[in-house]
Structures are given as structure tokens and as C-alpha cells.
Amino acid sequence: MTAQPSSVDRLKPLHFLLGEWAGAGQGQPGTGSGGFKFEKDLDGKILIRRGRLDFPATKDRPGFVHTDLTVVYSSPAGLSASYFDNEGHYIRYRVDAGADQNIVTFLSDNVPGTPRYRLIYRKETDGVRMTFEIAPPGQPEAFKTYVEGRLTRSDSRGK
């Protein structure tokens, strides 16, 4: 198989997410802290995101750690992503970078009988706001915020 060179970097609208990010957030699982790291891989043909959220124990539940891995890639249909986590979830996303390249939306496929997911990154002056939303089965547009947080760079990129 011969690699075809491309002068168009379809992943470029996501480059503002490259680097290490840390922050805190809250939502249905409670208040937690953590972050993620976005990096290029395979000669810049894909982006890999590794995330970790730590939720401390409360009076109602023990503490727990959520870890995840997302691979973002260019496909003939546009940008796509595959998400995996330590809870056994797998989500396939279509990825849309807003026209102004300050918002990136990951939207899961609409599969009958299953929830639908939407993950949004909004570039802000001094960080990124991340919102993860879930729509119940049979209501694919009825998204409700599940987790929301604000992250700032924890590395030297962009400084």
C-alpha cells in the first residue's frame, strides 16, 4: 500500500486542543478533577486523546477514576472518532469543527434503542470549556448536560 501525500490537514481545526489540559468539572457523577492530553500520532494522520477524571468519595458512593482513549481521524465522510473507556463504553463519533474553528463537536451516531452522545470543546481566551451531553434512547436531539468543566493548559503549548 502506497501512502498518498495530502496538502490538506483535515485535523488542523482541532490543533488548538493539542497539548496537556487540567481542570475541574461537575455533573451527574459529582464534582471531579482531571484532564486530558491531545497529541498527534502516525505522522500527524490521527490525533489521540487520553483522559482521566478523579471523583472523590462522597457519603453516597466510593471514589472512582474514569479513564478514556479517543482516536480522531480523517475518513472519506469527514472527520471521525472512536472513543473507549474503562467503564466498557465504545462510542463512534462524527467530528465537526465550527466555521470559526473555536468549537469542535463530537456527535455520536443515532442508533435506535441507545443513548446519543455529544461532546463539545469551546476555545476560550484562557482555556477550553468542555461539555458532555447525553440524549435518551428514542429522543436523539433531547441532549442534557451530563458533565461540564473548564480546562487550562498544564503544558507550555500556546504560552
User: Which grid cell is 121?
Assistant: 470543546
Q: CA-to-CA distance for 151 and 129, rounded, in angstroms?
A: 6
Predicted confidence (pLDDT) per residue in 22-39, tens digit: 887 665 555 777 888 999
Judge whether 105 and 120 are in contact, CB under 8 Å: yes
Model pTM score: 0.84
> Is residue 67 scored above 60 in pLDDT?
yes
Q: What is the CATH number of domain 12-153?
A: 2.40.128.20
Predicted confidence (pLDDT) per residue in 40-59, tens digit: 999 999 999 999 888 788 88
pLDDT category, 7, cuts 50, 70, 90? very low
Judge whether 27 and 132 are in contact, CB under 8 Å: yes
Would you kindly state where each structural domain of the chain is located, as residue ranges? 12-153
pLDDT category, 80, cuts 50, 70, 90? very high
Q: CA-to-CA distance for 113 and 140, rounded, in angstroms?
A: 10
Which pLDDT score, from 0 to 100, does residue 28 have?
57
Q: Please provide the DSSP assignment of 51-98 as one string.
A: EEEEE---SSS--EEEEEEEEEEEETTEEEEEEEETTS-EEEEEEEE-
User: Do the strands 144-153 and 127-135 form a parallel or antiparallel pair, or are they unpaired?
Assistant: antiparallel
